[in-house]
Amino acid sequence: MLRFIILSLTLIALINSSNIQRTTATPPAKYQNYKTYVKTACNSTTYPAMCYNSLSSYSSTIKSDPIKLCITSLNINLKSAKKASSVVSSLLKKAKSTSSPEVPILKDCLEEMKDTVDELKQATAEMKNLNGGGISKEEHLRNVKTWVSAALTDETTCTDELEEGEANADTKKKVKKAVSELSRTTSNTLALMTNYIACNSTTYPAMCYNSLSSYSSTIKSDPIKLCITSLNINLKSAKKASSVVSSLLKKAKSTSSPEVPILKDCLEEMKDTVDELKQATAEMKNLNGGGISKEEHLRNVKTWVSSALTDESTCTDELEEGEANADTKKKVKKAISELSWTTSNTLALMTNYLALIALINSSNIPITTATPPGINQNDKKFVQTACNSTPYPTMCYYSLSSAYSSTIKSDPIKLCLTSLNVNLKSAKSASSIVSSLLKKVAFSPEVPNILKGCLKEMKDTADELKQVFAEIIKGLDSRPEESQRGRLKGSWKRGRARRR
């Protein structure tokens, strides 16, 4: 999921450079069953039953609007965060009244819950103002994604610290129940946002979202599977349109109608469209074969899809100019318009993926997504090669290779994010050690102050690493040049200054 989020955020800015004309038009009628719309959307989330149960009662408000869907999910998410915060706050008051050793853990957890509430408030406010604030809709959406992702990280931090710290079974059970329900809600919100952002870059985002979201468990976080799935849907639509024109042509021939030549030409265009989409699908499934580069395969796929879109337009243009009665025109235009919407969306997704490949190839990332020469697809060697460039290569390799190399594979983004996760766990571990030492020397006149200062630094470190994680998600939409790195570094320093 995370990789898909990062890819989506990266790609959304790049579509602005394409030549595809965007429109807010939503295909009519098909999506008027509002509860079905919500159910289809929820099928793409981590917890679909929970998602549907929480959102279905709002279906008449959501209608078939993905923005309203995300805002409603955020509102429910915020209520859940406030509820979880209230549970932890009550437990903390009780712990303080009995001078329980649980107080420090519950204090930290409450802080995480308050951060979660603030982050979801920020996300909701930004989601309601996508066209304001002097920045683009895409940038607003990136910000929303960052806030929700940060909220999910804070929730996880609370439950992790609870597991590691001193708390009785009843306290753990109550906190985990409240925070786990919150985390599931946040995870669902994140999934809905992810799907919307991926399709927002297409020409017909609502249609894209509805046609692809039910396949999210297959697509997962793979942009290649996303494009192949879109092509498969596209091909079905092309065959359907071809069948409609074929039936009309048979009827016209039986009555010697003057529409025959126009329908013949249109059917030829539809057959060409089907062939071109078949070629595109076959090439998309064979990106590493054929003796040419992956990029060249992708350019070929884009060419096939562009040709298909041109053929569809040719059919409708000739129909408008030629002799055909109103009923024939209406039927053909309905079938081909739906096909053209689907093809346009597929083309946008392909454009996005090509733009991402170009970004990676032209970036300053020292390791590309291709497996380095001589590695022979060995994931551990990829990690080893990457770790050789660090100040402590042995430590780097052993912390990343044993448990995570099969997840990282040869992906530099996953490598960096995994390293950050390991780093964050290490920071929490260090914080726990200092916290334990502080308890042991609590009655010493001087040592506690030193350790308190050290514990504060450890907590700051954990907070900063969370910020890095969130900033990477937000910052990967542009090439990581010096100015970008400087901006990120500056934001961490400002974060620490605010906390102090």
Diameter over CA atoms, the chain: 105
Q: Which two tokens stand for residue 117?
A: 């509430």
Query: Is residue 182 in a domain?
Result: yes
Q: Are residues 203 and 233 in the same domain?
A: no
Rg of the chain (C-alpha set): 27
Q: How far apart are the C-alpha atoms of 193 and 213, rounded to whole Å?
A: 11
Residue-wise pLDDT tens digits, 37-57: 888 888 778 888 999 999 999
Alpha-carbon separation of residue 247 from 33, 115, 242, 269, 332 (angstroms): 29, 61, 9, 15, 10
Q: Are residues 282 and 211 in the same domain?
A: no
**Confidence at residue 390, expressed as pLDDT on a 0 to 100 scale:** 66
Alpha-carbon separation of residue 459 from 154, 424, 431, 449 (angstroms): 13, 10, 7, 15
**Confidence at residue 496, expressed as pLDDT on a 0 to 100 scale:** 35
Residue-wise pLDDT tens digits, 397-456: 656 765 566 677 677 777 777 777 778 777 776 777 767 666 666 555 555 566 666 777
Residue-wise pLDDT tens digits, 16-25: 333 334 434 4
Beta-sheet strands, E only, within 291-404? none
Query: Please, which residues have CB within 8 angstroms of residue 136's CB and are 6 or more apart in sequence?
Result: 16
Length of the chain equals 500
Structure confidence at residue 137 as a pLDDT band (50, 70, 90):
confident
Query: Please, which residues have CB within 8 angstroms of residue 210's CB and are 6 or more apart in sequence?
Result: 30, 31, 37, 40, 41, 64
* Number of domains making up the chain: 3
Helix (H, G, I), strand (E, B) or coil at 326: helix
Asked whether the beta carbons of 143 and 126 are under 8 A apart, the reply is yes
Residue-wise pLDDT tens digits, 58-77: 998 998 888 899 999 999 99
Last residue of a domain, one of 219, 236, 261: 219
Lowest mean pLDDT among 78-82, 226-230, 251-255, 462-466: 462-466
The tally of CA atoms less than 13 A away on the side-chain side of residue 450 is 7
Across 382-393, b (16+ Cβ under 10 Å) vs e yields bbbbbbeeeeee
* pLDDT at residue 394 is higher than 60: no
Query: Is residue 294 in a domain?
Result: yes
Q: How far apart are the C-alpha atoms of 308 and 269, rounded to whole Å?
A: 8
Residue with tokens 């100019």: 321
Query: Is residue 172 in a domain?
Result: yes
Query: Is residue 61 in a domain?
Result: yes
Q: Are residues 276 and 424 in the same domain?
A: no
Alpha-carbon separation of residue 284 from 189, 205, 233, 239 (angstroms): 31, 22, 14, 19
DSSP 8-state assignment for residue 215: G
AA letter at 411:
D
Q: How far apart are the C-alpha atoms of 382 and 380, rounded to whole Å?
A: 5
Mean pLDDT of 228-257: 94
In this prediction, what percent of the chain has a pLDDT beyond 90? 34
Lowest mean pLDDT among 59-73, 193-207, 317-331, 373-387: 373-387
Q: Are residues 310 and 449 in the same domain?
A: no
Lowest mean pLDDT among 1-15, 35-49, 131-145, 316-330: 1-15
Asked whether the beta carbons of 219 and 191 are under 8 A apart, the reply is no
Structure confidence at residue 381 as a pLDDT band (50, 70, 90):
low
Query: Is residue 432 in a domain?
Result: yes
Q: How far apart are the C-alpha atoms of 24 and 38, rounded to whole Å?
A: 20
Q: How far apart are the C-alpha atoms of 52 and 42, rounded to whole Å?
A: 6
Query: Please, which residues have CB within 8 angstroms of residue 462's CB and are 6 or more apart in sequence?
Result: 157, 424, 427, 428, 431
| Distant-in-sequence contacts of 417-426, Cβ < 8 A, 24+ apart | 417/2, 417/6, 417/469, 417/472, 420/465, 420/468, 420/469, 420/472, 421/469, 423/465, 424/462, 424/465, 424/466, 424/469
Last residue of a domain, one of 219, 244, 263: 219
| Alpha-carbon 107 to chain mean position | 32
Q: How far apart are the C-alpha atoms of 6 and 198, rounded to whole Å?
A: 10
Judged on CB neighbours under 10 Å (0-12, 13-18, 19+), 299 is: middle
**Confidence at residue 320, expressed as pLDDT on a 0 to 100 scale:** 84
Helical (H) or strand (E) element with 155: helix 137-164
Lowest mean pLDDT among 213-222, 311-320, 403-412, 417-426: 403-412
Q: Are residues 324 and 242 in the same domain?
A: yes
* pLDDT at residue 151 is higher than 50: yes
| Residue 467 CB neighbours (<10 A) | 18
Lowest mean pLDDT among 347-361, 465-479, 485-499: 485-499
Q: Are residues 148 and 10 in the same domain?
A: yes
Last residue of a domain, one of 335, 362, 389: 362
Query: Please, which residues have CB within 8 angstroms of residue 218's CB and are 6 or more apart in sequence?
Result: 225, 229
Q: How far apart are the C-alpha atoms of 155 and 109, rounded to whole Å?
A: 8
AA letter at 210:
N
Residue 316, domain CATH: 1.20.140.40
DSSP 8-state assignment for residue 366: S
Q: Are residues 308 and 443 in the same domain?
A: no
* pLDDT at residue 254 is higher than 90: yes
Query: Is residue 372 in a domain?
Result: no
Q: Are residues 158 and 272 in the same domain?
A: no
Q: Are residues 232 and 358 in the same domain?
A: yes
Query: Is residue 395 in a domain?
Result: yes
| Residue 500 CB neighbours (<10 A) | 7
Q: Are residues 230 and 345 in the same domain?
A: yes
| Residue 149 lies in domain | 2-219
Q: Are residues 255 and 215 in the same domain?
A: no
Asked whether the beta carbons of 424 and 469 are under 8 A apart, the reply is yes
Query: Is residue 370 in a domain?
Result: no
Q: How far apart are the C-alpha atoms of 484 and 481, rounded to whole Å?
A: 5
Q: Are residues 271 and 329 in the same domain?
A: yes
**Confidence at residue 380, expressed as pLDDT on a 0 to 100 scale:** 62
